[in-house]
């Protein structure tokens, strides 16, 4: 959930001085060793170190992450068969390790992927001194890890039922506690060394597109050599490899010397003409390394950026406004420095989640549903946008964000905010008794006290202030549990919460947000533990839909049901402001995933932090 972007389906969360000459020379020495090794496939310049900021990450295992910060680093280390085109709008899949577009049969039940030859994993002792080529079997193994119900993510129930023969293998793994990777799955096969085939029991474009466009390949021998735990030992085929990870402080990546040269993507969009022209003919990646500072606070990120310590920075809310004039343009003093701003709605919905199995706020009986609806009606989302997010957000009127498949732009923005109706509703369903301080009691006379789980940093303090004000007016006593992002995600997935606020999504399709409430999802994703047959039927209609209009209609129905039963309240769609230094070249807003390999730095004295 955000507050920082699998599938792209993850929870989202919300500067140091230059290094010494010695530190910079260390980077150059490493590059020299790579050249001495005699295997150099890229034009990466070791003097060009991209400096970015991120919230803390949890893992570098490409099949066991649930948060966006981890995902963003993982995409630099591992490669899916396809990626979402860097410049295309609407987004489209293009080959990454694949040699050609995916071949889909007429009935949309057979998907065939042909891989490029000669793509190699980064070196690892498990390869016994030999170079290791990527093959179709690596994707078969990796997709099985993605389905494993014993993994951190809890598997993929929808894909398990979708891929021919997967259900029996996954059920056996759940029963035994161990996935048998040697057990064949009929619908997941390597036809030869470079050809992968996926067969489905029914058409389903969103899930399969995310599988082939998100899930990176690992080498089985590396995973097994580490006893299945590659959380801190990533070995992929991506443009970068891990050099250093100091938890809570920094992550340093270096160019993968075995990576193949790539070219900057083309585009027929006139808006990208100058960008494409400026990058034409360059052999990429040019970036020799990425220095990632773990910085939770937007204000700290902004200061680091203005000091030249970050090459670009994502800012939101009031902090973003500090760099903007009244008309929304970059302030003159910053524009004079060549700083450029890009703004767009994030592909995440920021949501208040209610634990539907909690003994106080959970349940599907009329009283508990009314309690959740009253809370939703008492929350002033207009103030949330104007004050907490300083106008850098859009009130959410559905589950799916703008620009994402399933979003319905025709839906009116009907705010639920109606504090008088919220009070009357609670009075009517049995929460009318109050204590001496004016706070409500439950029907059995106990104090009605609720706790909101929030990640530390970002706008958590402002959210607490707004919640307390709104719930005091409603007569509900509130507590707040504020904890670091990764700890919040653990508590959320273990069901140890009553109310949580965070973001979720990141995919060009709206199905990550929509499938959060699908009863067959694992509790790692369906964190509210919501179960409703009408919602499930609408979700399945969305997955079967071949036309955009059909998807929008199904998504609209799911949003209506969510508003009725209130397992979650979509609150805002945040606006993401990306401010870019003038020396960064090739930059386009990375809406769905980072594309560091397509960037270049005009200034060649960039160096990692101390």
Domain map of the chain by residue range? 79-232, 348-575
pLDDT of residue 524: 83
pLDDT of residue 310: 97
150-165 core/surface letters (b: 16 or more CB in 10 A; e: else): ebbbbbbbbbbebbbb
Asked if residue 440 lies in contact with residue 351, where contact means CB atoms within 8 angstroms, the answer is no
- Residue 322's pLDDT band, with cuts at 50, 70 and 90, is very high
pLDDT of residue 279: 97
- The residue count of the chain comes to 610
Percent of the chain with pLDDT strictly greater than 70 = 92
13 pLDDT above the threshold of 60: no
- Rounded Cα–Cα distance for residues 13 and 316 (Å): 12
Asked if residue 276 lies in contact with residue 36, where contact means CB atoms within 8 angstroms, the answer is no
Q: Other CB atoms closer than 10 Å to residue 479's CB: what's the count? A: 11
Strands 449-455 and 477-483 turn out to be parallel
Please enumerate, as own/partner, the contacts of 69-73 that have beta carbons within 8 Å and a separation of 24 or more: 69/4, 69/13, 69/485, 70/10, 71/5, 71/6, 71/8, 71/10, 71/506, 71/593, 72/4, 72/5, 72/593, 72/594, 73/251, 73/253, 73/292
List pLDDT tens digits, range 49-67.
999 999 999 999 999 998 8
pTM of the model: 0.78
Q: Quick check: bond before 90 cis, omega within 30? A: yes
569 pLDDT above the threshold of 80: yes
- Rounded Cα–Cα distance for residues 314 and 78 (Å): 23
Asked if residue 274 lies in contact with residue 171, where contact means CB atoms within 8 angstroms, the answer is no
Helices (H), 436-547: 460-474, 485-493, 511-515, 533-544
Asked if residue 317 lies in contact with residue 459, where contact means CB atoms within 8 angstroms, the answer is yes
Q: What does the pLDDT average to over 215-235?
A: 97
Q: Write the CA distances from 564 to 529, 569, 579, integer angstroms.
A: 16, 10, 39
588 pLDDT above the threshold of 50: yes
Nearest alpha carbon to residue 359 among 446, 423, 434, 438:
446
Q: What is the DSSP code string of 534-558?
A: HHHHHHHHHHH--SHHHHHHHHHHH
17 pLDDT above the threshold of 50: no
Q: Quick check: bond before 321 cis, omega within 30? A: no
List pLDDT tens digits, range 502-521.
998 888 888 889 999 999 88
Q: What does the pLDDT average to over 351-361?
A: 97
Better-predicted residue by pLDDT, 262 or 32: 262
pLDDT of residue 40: 42
Give me 566's structure tokens.
């209130």
- Residue 603's pLDDT band, with cuts at 50, 70 and 90, is low
543 pLDDT above the threshold of 90: no
Q: What does the pLDDT average to over 585-595?
A: 91
Better-predicted residue by pLDDT, 396 or 511: 396
pLDDT of residue 67: 87
Nearest alpha carbon to residue 385 among 570, 600, 131:
570
Q: Which CATH superfamily is domain 79-232 in?
A: Dipeptide-binding Protein; Domain 1 (3.90.76.10)
DSSP symbol at 526? -
Q: Kindly report which listed range (147-151, 304-308, 358-362, 507-511) carries the lowest average pLDDT score.
A: 507-511
pLDDT of residue 12: 56
- Rounded Cα–Cα distance for residues 230 and 142 (Å): 13
- Rounded Cα–Cα distance for residues 131 and 133 (Å): 7
Q: Other CB atoms closer than 10 Å to residue 277's CB: what's the count? A: 10
Reduced to 3 states (helix: H, G, I; strand: E, B; else coil), residue 372 is helix
- Residue 112's pLDDT band, with cuts at 50, 70 and 90, is very high
Computed over every residue of the chain, the mean pLDDT equals: 90
115-129 core/surface letters (b: 16 or more CB in 10 A; e: else): beeebbbbbbebbee
9 pLDDT above the threshold of 70: no
The sign of the CA dihedral 407, 206, 594, 74 is: positive
Better-predicted residue by pLDDT, 33 or 142: 142
pLDDT of residue 319: 92
Distance of CA 26 to the CA centre of its chain: 33
3 pLDDT above the threshold of 90: no
36 pLDDT above the threshold of 70: no
pLDDT of residue 605: 47
List pLDDT tens digits, range 448-477.
999 999 998 768 999 999 999 999 999 999
pLDDT of residue 412: 87
Give me 472's structure tokens.
């005091």
pLDDT of residue 206: 87
Q: Write the CA distances from 253 to 123, 210, 243, integer angstroms.
A: 15, 25, 5
| Domain 348-575: CATH class, spelled out | alpha beta
Asked if residue 369 lies in contact with residue 565, where contact means CB atoms within 8 angstroms, the answer is yes
Percent of the chain with pLDDT strictly greater than 90 = 78
Burial class (CB in 10 A: 0-12, 13-18, 19+), 214: buried
Q: What is the DSSP code string of 299-315?
A: HHHHHHHHTT--SEEEE
Nearest alpha carbon to residue 357 among 531, 155, 513:
531
């Amino acid at each position: 959930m955000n507050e920082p972007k699998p599938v792209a389906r993850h929870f989202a969360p919300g500067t140091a001085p230059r290094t010494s000459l010695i530190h910079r020379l260390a980077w150059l020495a490493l590059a020299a060793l790579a050249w001495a090794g005699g295997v150099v496939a890229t034009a990466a310049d070791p003097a060009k170190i991209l400096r970015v900021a991120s919230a803390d990450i949890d893992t570098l295992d490409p099949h066991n992450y649930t948060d966006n910060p981890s995902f963003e680093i993982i995409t630099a280390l591992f490669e899916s068969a396809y990626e979402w085109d860097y410049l295309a709008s609407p987004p489209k899949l293009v080959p990454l390790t694949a040699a050609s577009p995916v071949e889909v049969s007429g009935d949309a039940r057979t998907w065939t992927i042909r891989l490029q030859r000669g793509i190699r994993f980064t070196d690892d002792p498990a390869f016994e001194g030999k170079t290791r080529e990527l093959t179709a079997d690596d994707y078969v193994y990796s997709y099985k890890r993605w389905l494993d119900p014993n993994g951190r993510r809890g598997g993929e129930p929808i894909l398990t039922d979708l891929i021919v023969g997967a259900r029996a293998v996954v059920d056996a793994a759940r029963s035994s506690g161990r996935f048998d990777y040697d057990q064949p799955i009929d619908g997941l096969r390597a036809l030869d060394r470079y050809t992968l085939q996926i067969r489905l029991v029914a058409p389903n474009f969103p899930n399969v597109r995310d599988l082939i466009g998100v899930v990176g390949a690992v080498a089985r021998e590396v995973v097994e050599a580490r006893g299945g735990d590659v959380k801190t030992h990533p070995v992929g085929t991506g443009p970068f490899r891990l050099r250093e990870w100091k938890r809570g402080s920094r992550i340093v990546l270096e160019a993968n010397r075995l990576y193949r040269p790539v070219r900057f993507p083309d585009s027929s969009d006139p808006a990208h003409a100058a960008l494409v022209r400026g990058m034409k003919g360059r052999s990429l990646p040019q970036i020799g390394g990425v220095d990632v500072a773990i910085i939770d606070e937007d204000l700290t990120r902004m200061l680091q950026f203005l000091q030249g310590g970050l090459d670009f920075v994502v800012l939101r809310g009031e902090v973003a406004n500090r760099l903007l004039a009244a008309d929304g343009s970059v302030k003159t003093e910053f524009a004079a420095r060549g700083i450029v701003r890009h703004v767009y709605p994030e592909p995440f919905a920021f949501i208040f989640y209610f634990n539907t199995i909690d003994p106080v706020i959970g349940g599907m009986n009329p009283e508990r549903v009314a309690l959740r609806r009253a809370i939703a009606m008492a929350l002033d989302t207009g103030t949330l946008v104007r004050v907490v997010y300083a106008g850098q957000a859009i009130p959410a009127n559905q589950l799916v964000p703008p620009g994402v498949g399933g979003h319905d732009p025709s839906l009116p923005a009907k705010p639920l905010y109606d504090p008088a109706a919220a009070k009357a509703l609670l009075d009517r369903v049995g929460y009318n008794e109050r204590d001496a301080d004016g706070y409500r009691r439950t029907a059995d006379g106990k104090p009605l006290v609720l706790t909101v789980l929030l990640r530390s940093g970002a706008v958590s303090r402002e959210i607490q202030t707004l919640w307390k004000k709104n719930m005091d007016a409603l007569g509900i006593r509130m507590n707040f549990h504020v904890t670091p992002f990764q700890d919040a995600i653990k508590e959320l997935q273990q069901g140890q919460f009553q109310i949580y606020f965070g973001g979720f999504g990141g995919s060009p399709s709206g199905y990550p947000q929509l499938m959060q409430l699908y009863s067959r999802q694992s509790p790692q994703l369906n964190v509210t533990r919501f179960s409703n047959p009408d919602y499930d039927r609408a979700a399945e209609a969305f997955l079967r839909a071949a036309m955009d209009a059909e998807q929008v209609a199904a998504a609209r129905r799911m949003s209506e049901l969510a508003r009725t039963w209130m397992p979650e309240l979509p609150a805002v769609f945040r606006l993401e402001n990306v401010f870019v230094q003038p020396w960064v070249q090739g930059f386009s807003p990375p809406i769905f995933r980072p594309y560091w390999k397509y960037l270049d730095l005009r200034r060649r004295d960039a160096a990692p932090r101390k």
